Amino acid sequence: MNIANSRTDALQAAGNSLFNDRKLGLGTFSTNLSGGCSISKIDGTLKADWPSTLRLAELAEAMDFEALVPVGRWKGFGGETNFNSEGFECFSWAAAIAASTKKGGVFATTHVPTIHPIFAAKMATTIDHVSNGRFIMNIVTG
């Protein structure tokens, strides 16, 4: 028996949206940071608080999005908008989102020089178990 195939088959049978027949996958990006991808002072921009980011994950799940992808950022950009000044660390955010949702891939973004590979692997394994196989790591080298 091929373990990899049986795991994929089990995830597909469980309705994991990563294993569907769609030709285009959809997801959210940067919902772990204030402002998301919008550099703006307008009222209604994304707040980096748990209720806001959880609500977006729930909406994405209801719309059958395949991915929730956070941005790995340690500091905002300053200036008038202080773009992305507040936010959640990616692995902790992914664990919390994974525990709060049932479908869709949950990513964590990591930068190679900032986290030791053994520590990243341990966190990834934990989140993968919490998410029932929905965890994906986005590794940024630069």
8 within domain boundaries: no
Domain that holds residue 91: 46-142
Q: Does pLDDT of 126 surpass 70?
A: yes
97 within domain boundaries: yes
115 within domain boundaries: yes
Counted domains in the chain? 1
Q: Are strands 27-29 and 135-140 parallel, antiparallel or unpaired?
A: unpaired
Q: Does pLDDT of 23 surpass 70?
A: yes
Instruction: Give me 134's structure tokens.
Output: 């929905």
- Per-residue confidence (pLDDT) for residue 15, from 0 to 100: 65
Q: Does pLDDT of 1 surpass 60?
A: no
Rounded to whole angstroms, the Cα distance separating 113 from 7 reads 31
Percent with pLDDT over 90 in the chain = 53
